[in-house]
Amino acid sequence: MSDIRAQINEIAQRLAPLCRHISVRDDERGPYIFAIAEDDVHSLELWYQDSEFSLELWHGKTAEVERVVEEPKVPDATAATERSRMWLQSDAI
């Protein structure tokens, strides 16, 4: 689990420049990233589960309109970082 935590922390550090808020948290699934992009429209959760990285990609500026747009799964930390980066960068466009 500590190896997964290290990977999650590294991904969070790489994504931090794109975020208004980013944190590594814990729940029943283990460590995960909660991130909100600079313009508050794109956010995500990312965790490691069942030998792959899982994401929940959220869109919406307020809780009333926020919704999960996609729940992709990717095989490794590199793909998870890239997919997360693409989503969070959408706020800058």
pLDDT beyond 80 at 65:
yes
Nearest one of 8, 65, 62 to 40, comparing CA atoms: 62
pTM comes to 0.91
- Enumerate the β-bridge partners of residue 30: 27
pLDDT beyond 80 at 92:
no
Name the burial class of residue 81, with classes exposed (0-12), middle (13-18) and buried (19+) by CB atoms within 10 angstroms of its CB: buried
Residue pLDDT, tens place only, 39-57: 889 999 999 999 999 999 9
pLDDT beyond 90 at 2:
no
| CB crowding 19-30: b at 16 or more within 10 Å, else e | beebebeeeeee
- Domains of the chain, residue spans: 2-92
